[in-house]
């Protein structure tokens, strides 16, 4: 089913293939073009991901390397169409780093809703930028102006052109949540 905006109703629609499936047999049993896996055994790999152009970011919120909890793997598609692991974004060990990710151009926002910045589970988000050399470097740590314990700021995140929006799932006395816009 899909929603047909021209007639404002739901209707049966043909499956969307995006030109990736070449035959009826492939349409009945679609297969991935490539499977991205990190080097080594990583816990909760793939819990969040984002892609823009030839860059993909894949989080492993339970991953640990060198004392860092929560990892985000960066991949770049080369001229031959192969996806190459080009880096790992880390947080300095803040809680649930990689629970949310959004990528726009060469800038990413990564949420860490269990970070203890302003009390247990208050949360944070980090901005990373990819340089011309392909390396990702941290640019800023975002914290909601009024977040507190268990607000889980960083539970969701979106990146636009020069704008990041970060959600705090449990912000407010009634757990209504909040979204914070950063420019």
Angle at alpha carbon of residue 25, lines to 23 and 28, rounded to 5° = 115
In a domain, 7, yes or no: no
CA–CA separation, 78 vs 95, rounded Å? Answer: 33
User: Is pLDDT at 31 greater than 90 in this prediction?
Assistant: no
User: pLDDT value at position 15?
Assistant: 43
The string of pLDDT tens digits covering residues 139-180 is 999 999 999 999 999 999 999 999 999 999 998 777 789 999
In a domain, 151, yes or no: yes
In a domain, 127, yes or no: yes
Flag whether the pTM goes above 0.85.
no
Structural domain boundaries enclosing 167: 42-182
Number of domains in the chain: 1
User: Taking Cα atoms as reference points, which of 90, 91, 89, 137 lies closest to residue 117?
Assistant: 91
Mean pLDDT value across the chain: 80
In a domain, 36, yes or no: no
């Amino acid at each position: 089913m899909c929603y047909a905006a021209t007639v404002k109703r739901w209707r049966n629609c043909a499956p969307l293939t995006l030109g990736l499936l070449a035959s009826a047999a492939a349409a009945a049993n679609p297969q991935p073009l490539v499977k991205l896996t990190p080097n080594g055994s990583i816990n909760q790999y793939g819990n969040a991901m984002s892609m823009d152009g030839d860059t993909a970011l894949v989080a492993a919120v339970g991953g640990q390397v060198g004392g860092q909890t929560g990892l985000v793997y960066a991949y770049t598609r080369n001229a031959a169409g192969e996806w190459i692991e080009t880096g790992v974004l880390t947080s300095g060990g803040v809680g649930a780093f990689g629970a949310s990710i959004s990528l726009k151009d060469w800038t990413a926002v990564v949420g860490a809703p269990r970070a203890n910045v302003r009390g247990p589970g208050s949360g944070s988000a980090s901005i990373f930028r990819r340089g011309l050399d392909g390396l990702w470097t941290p640019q800023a740590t975002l914290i909601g102006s009024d977040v507190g314990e268990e607000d889980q700021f960083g539970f969701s995140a979106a990146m636009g052109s020069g704008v990041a929006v970060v959600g705090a799932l449990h912000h407010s006395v009634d757990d209504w949540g909040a979204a914070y816009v950063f420019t």
